[in-house]
């Protein structure tokens, strides 16, 4: 039996997180809590995609910082909007 590779692990983790977000949206009435949790998981998923699927872990530093800041900045703005 073939062992699961690193990319397959991340792929399954991304699918599990997506299903978890769907479960959150269906089960909870608190839109603020769900929005914050979904924004945090979107942030994590974006960073995983950037590092492992786009292979920007070895890219030049400014490009990597720009891409990572995108997935940190916008979910943070969503969280701030929900809290106010």
Dihedral of the alpha carbons of 68, 72, 73, 78, in degrees to the nearest 10: 150
4: pLDDT strictly greater than 80: no
pTM reported for the whole predicted model: 0.78
pLDDT tens figures, 22-79? 888 888 877 888 888 889 999 999 988 988 888 888 888 888 888 889 989 998 998 8
15: pLDDT strictly greater than 90: yes
């Amino acid at each position: 039996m073939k062992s699961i590779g690193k990319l397959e692990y991340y792929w399954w983790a991304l699918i599990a997180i997506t299903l978890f977000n769907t479960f959150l949206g269906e089960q909870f009435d608190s839109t603020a809590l769900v929005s914050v949790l979904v924004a945090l998981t979107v942030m994590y998923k974006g960073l995983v995609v950037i590092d492992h699927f786009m292979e920007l872990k070895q890219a030049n530093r400014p490009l990597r910082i720009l891409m990572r800041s995108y997935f940190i900045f916008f979910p943070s703005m969503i969280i701030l909007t929900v809290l106010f």
